[in-house]
Amino acid sequence: MSDHVNKDQLIRFTCKDEPFRVIAAQTTTLCETARRLHDTDPTATVALARITTGTALLGGLLKGSQRLALAIEGNGPLQKLHAETDAAGHVRCTIKNRLANLPPRDGVFDVATAIGKAGFLTVVKDLGLKEPYQGMVQLQTSEIGDDIAYYLTTSEQVPSLVSLAVALDNHAAVKTAGGYLIQALPGCSDEAIDRIESRVADQPSLSSLLGEGKSLTTILADIFSGHELTPPESLPLRFRCRCRRDQVAKMLAGLEKSELEAAVTEGVVEVTCEYCRQSYRFTPDEISGITHP
């Protein structure tokens, strides 16, 4: 889809009377772009859309030149999902196996089985320090939203609630996608946390609310009814990859000489980016120039 129809955005606000931080992400165009690039089957599409949306939400915690990557690796058919974002709202994602080959269970896409019940969620943050920060937790439900919330609550010690929603149309394209992250900051009362959790639990599913045409801001305003909220900040979200031809050339230069020689004997060497599926072609002469500058 072209940018002029892209309504994807990140929304951030806080509570004035109780220390809650709220981040919401509308990600329909982003997730449909990912589906088209990776040609996923329906269950894989939903799983990829969930990790993409969850990563976009975590991107709302970044600033400046900071970056973040989220990976889920399990013993299910999808094997591994990976998404990255930065503070500017640029997101990219990839999936190891694009076909889950799993039917819906009770009318719901069986994401947990596609990912696998045994595995890990890993978060890597580049905060501009000498070394990136890395945190890892075991998968709890393999539904992705719950696993992200568990990571934030246990590894980062910030009680968090994550809700992710993805709906597909009759052609298995992404019809709507989005989610929100609610975090209780230091000083937040147990009563306030219980009240917000109760309101979330009493609402219809996020998928059904978005399907009815309700906006994330309206849904969250209902959850925080009676609380004074700061004006929301918004940031556009877009699928954008950082791959470049010179980076691919450096990667080729790092290969064993025998590997490159074997590739060159077959003629043109073609390397495809795992995120955006962009192909980079190198002739034998170009490969020779890379290895013998």
CATH of the domain at 207: 3.55.30.10
| CA 94 centroid distance within chain | 10
pLDDT of residue 265: 74
Q: Are residues 270 and 153 in the same domain?
A: no
Domain that holds residue 232: 3-239
pLDDT of residue 4: 39
Residue 260 sits in a domain of what CATH number? Answer: 3.90.1280.10
DSSP 2: -
- Residues 195 and 20: their CA atoms lie apart, in Å, by 12
Specify the number of domains making up the chain.
2
pLDDT of residue 61: 96
**238-239 vs 269-272, strand pairing mode:** unpaired
Question: How does pLDDT run across 21-51, given as a tens digit for each residue?
Answer: 999 999 999 999 999 999 999 999 999 999 9
β-pair partners for 123: 70, 135
Measured between its terminal Cα atoms, the distance across the chain in Å is: 40
Q: Are residues 142 and 280 in the same domain?
A: no
pLDDT of residue 292: 60
Q: Are residues 119 and 51 in the same domain?
A: yes
Q: Are residues 17 and 114 in the same domain?
A: yes
Q: Are residues 219 and 276 in the same domain?
A: no
- Residues 117 and 78: their CA atoms lie apart, in Å, by 12
pLDDT of residue 293: 54
Q: Are residues 283 and 196 in the same domain?
A: no
Q: Are residues 148 and 277 in the same domain?
A: no
Q: Are residues 267 and 193 in the same domain?
A: no
Q: Are residues 161 and 267 in the same domain?
A: no
Cβ neighbours for 101, distance < 8 A, ≥ 6 positions apart? 41, 77
Distances (CA, A) of 59 to 127, 130, 153, 175: 12, 20, 17, 23
Distances (CA, A) of 212 to 27, 165, 200, 208, 219: 16, 13, 17, 6, 11
pLDDT of residue 74: 97
Low-confidence spans in the chain with pLDDT less than 50: 1-4
pLDDT of residue 250: 87
